[in-house]
Amino acid sequence: MARSGRKRGRRSGVSPLPQEAAHQWSITAERRVILSEDQVADIHQRTLRFLQDSGMKVQSARARQILRGAGADVDDAGEMVRMDPALVEQLLSTAPSGFELHSRTPARSLYIGGDKVAFMSVASAPNASDLKGGRRPGNYEDFQNLLRLSQQLNVVNAFGGNPVEPTDLPVATRHLNCNFDFLTLTDKPFRLYAIGATRIEDGLEMNRIAQRLSEVDLETRPVAITNVNINSPLLIDEAMLDGLIAMSSRNQPVIITPFTLAGAMAPVSLAGALLQQNIEAVMGIAITQAVRPGAPVLYGCFTSNVDMKSGAPAFGTPENVRAIIAGGQMARFYNMPFRASNANASNAMDAQAAYESLFSLQAAIDGQAHLVQHAIGWLEGGLTASFEKMVLDAELIQSLMLSHTPIDTAEAEYGLDAMREVGPGGHFFGTQHTLERYETAFYAPILSDWRNFGAWTEGGAPDAFARAAQISDGLLQAYTEPALDPDIRDELAAFVAKRTEEGGALDA
C-alpha cells in the first residue's frame, strides 16, 4: 500500500475531508542557501562587534541584573547592555539544538528541531473573517470556532497564539478563558503570551494540571511555548522580558523574533535588516541562556520589507523569501531551531493570498524552519484570521510537503507489463497495474476543483474562496471535542474560577 493510502484520514472515518492523517511532517527537501559561508561568518562577526560596541536597550531591571551577573556591561541609567564576544559565544553555546514540546495527548507532542517541522495556526489577529459574515473585530465566538477548525485540520500541529483576539473578554482574565479553551476544545500544544510574568505562570500551571505533572516534572518537560518579539530596532521591553524570564527560568521554550521590517524598523537594505535581525536574535537568545543555561529557544525570522509608498508591511516578496532562506542559514550556524512564517498581505482570499503565502511558506521549508508560525489562516498582513484561508493553507502545506517525496522505482512500479499490454495508442485506465494502484497513487486535494468547466458551471461555478467556505463549514459541523479526563477538566475550571476572582493578570 502506498504512502498516501496509509495516511489519509478519510480511510479511518475520522474526518469528512480527504486530508492527510495528523502527524508531524519531516522536511525532506534540500535546504536552500543564499548566503555564502563567508557572508554568514561576516554577519556573525559584525553582530559580536555591535553587541560589544553599541549593545541593545533592555528595559527590565531584573533582566539587566541577570545579565550583569553573567558578565555583561550594564548601564542602568540608559538601560543599555553590552557584551563582549566571548560572553555572547559562551551564552549561545548552551542553547539546545532541539526539544520535545509536550501536549496533553501524547500523540500530539512535537519535536522542535532536526528535520521536523511544526505548523502553527494564525495568531493574534485583531479581526476574523469568513465569506458569509465578512470581516469583523475579534470576538470570543470566532476565537472558539477558529480553535475548532484548527483542531479539525490535520496540518495544524500547534497554536501560535490566539487565532483571533477575543476582544469581548476582559483583558486581565482573557488568557484564563483562552487557555481553558485550548486545553478542552483542542489537544494540540499552544503558545502563551509573554506579556508580563503572570500570564505565563497561569498558562504553565494550567498545562501542568492538564498533563498531570508535578512542579519538578514541569521543569524537565516543555509543555508550552512563547514568542518574544523584539521591539525593533534594538530594544526589548519590560513586559516581554518578564514573560521571557518566567518561561526560561522554568526551562520552557521561547521564540526570539526580531520585528525587522526593512525600511521601517530596520535598514532598507536586506543586508542591514538581516544584520539587525541577527543582533537582536542573538541578544534575546543570550538572555534566555543567562536566565537558565540550556533553556529551549528558537531563532526567529520575520524579516520582510515594507511598501515604501505606504509603510505597510509586505510578505511573500522576493526580499521576504531571501531573508527567510538567509535566516535559516544563521540559525543553522548557531545550531538552533528556526522559526519562520507563512505570511501574505492580501485583503482577500484570492490569487494574491495564495501566491504570497506559497512564496513565504516554500521559503520556510527551503530554509529548514522547525516552526512555521501563522502557517494556517493568516490574511491581510496578520490583521485578519480567515476561516477560508485555513483551508487554503492546509492544501498548500500538504501539496508542498508531498512534492518532495522520493520516487519509488521498484521493478513493479515501472509498469512495464502494462506498457506492453496497452501498446501504442492505447490507454491505461483498465490495466491490472492501474486497478491495483489508482485509489492511492495520487495526492487527493482538499480544495482544488478538477471538474470540467461544464460540470463546474452547473455546480454554481464556485471559486476557491467559495469552496473553502463550504469545507470550513463542513469541518465545523463535524467537530467533536477531544477526550479529556473530567477530573482534569474540573480542576482547570476551578483554577480559572479562582484566578478570575483574584483579578487575573494585573502586571501588564
Region 35-94 residues binding its own copies, contact defined as CB under 8 A: 35, 39, 42-43, 46, 50, 54, 56-57, 80
For residue 270 the three cell numbers come to 536586506
Cβ distance 167 to 138 under 8 Å? yes
Cβ distance 66 to 291 under 8 Å? yes
Region near its own copies per CB under 8 A, out of 67-75, 191-199, 208-216, 378-386: 378-386
Q: What angle do CA 281, 283, 287 make, to 5 degrees?
A: 115
Report if residue 319 touches its own copies, rule: CB under 8 A: yes
Task: Give 185 or 394: the residue with its C-beta nearer to its own copies.
Answer: 394
CB of 110 to its own copies, least distance (A): 23
Cβ distance 299 to 330 under 8 Å? yes
Q: Which residues between 267 and 306 bind its own copies (CB under 8 A)?
A: 267-272, 274-276, 305
Burial 50-66 (b: 16+ CB within 10 A, else e): bbbeebbbbebeebbeb
Cβ distance 195 to 171 under 8 Å? no
* 463 phi and psi angles, rounded to 5 deg: -80, 180
CB of 422 to its own copies, least distance (A): 6
Report if residue 355 touches its own copies, rule: CB under 8 A: yes
Task: Give 296 or 328: the residue with its C-beta nearer to its own copies.
Answer: 328
Report if residue 115 touches its own copies, rule: CB under 8 A: no
Binding residues for its own copies, how many (CB under 8 A)?
Answer: 120
Alpha helices in 54-128 (DSSP H): 61-70, 85-93
Cis peptide before 170 (omega within 30 of 0): no
Residue from 345, 364, 376, 469 touching its own copies (CB under 8 A): that is 345
Distance (Å) of CA 470 to CA 123, 158, 464: 23, 24, 10
Cβ distance 495 to 206 under 8 Å? yes
CB of 39 to its own copies, least distance (A): 5
Task: Give 150 or 386: the residue with its C-beta nearer to its own copies.
Answer: 386
Alpha helices in 186-317 (DSSP H): 197-210, 215-218, 238-248, 270-291
DSSP state of 78: T
CB of 174 to its own copies, least distance (A): 24
Q: Which residues between 164 and 223 bind its own copies (CB under 8 A)?
A: none
Residue from 91, 172, 349, 385 touching its own copies (CB under 8 A): that is 349
Region near its own copies per CB under 8 A, out of 186-194, 369-377, 399-407, 471-479: 399-407
What is the distance in angstroms between the CA of the first residue and the CA of the last residue of the chain? Answer: 55
Report if residue 10 touches its own copies, rule: CB under 8 A: no
CB of 302 to its own copies, least distance (A): 16
How far apart CA 295 and CA 278 sit, in angstroms, is 19
Q: What angle do CA 187, 193, 197 make, to 5 degrees?
A: 120
Q: Which residues between 119 and 148 bind its own copies (CB under 8 A)?
A: 135
Contact string (CB under 8 A) for its own copies, positions 245-264, x = contact? -----------------xxx
Residue from 356, 387, 492, 495 touching its own copies (CB under 8 A): that is 356
Residue from 14, 21, 402, 488 touching its own copies (CB under 8 A): that is 402
CB atoms within 10 A of CB 416: 11
Q: Which residue has the cell 480511510?
A: 11
Report if residue 362 touches its own copies, rule: CB under 8 A: yes
Q: Which residues between 226 and 245 bind its own copies (CB under 8 A)?
A: 231, 233-235
CB of 36 to its own copies, least distance (A): 8
Residue from 86, 93, 414, 485 touching its own copies (CB under 8 A): that is 414
Q: Which residues between 444 and 463 bind its own copies (CB under 8 A)?
A: 445, 447-453, 456-457, 461, 463
How far apart CA 67 and CA 176 sit, in angstroms, is 31
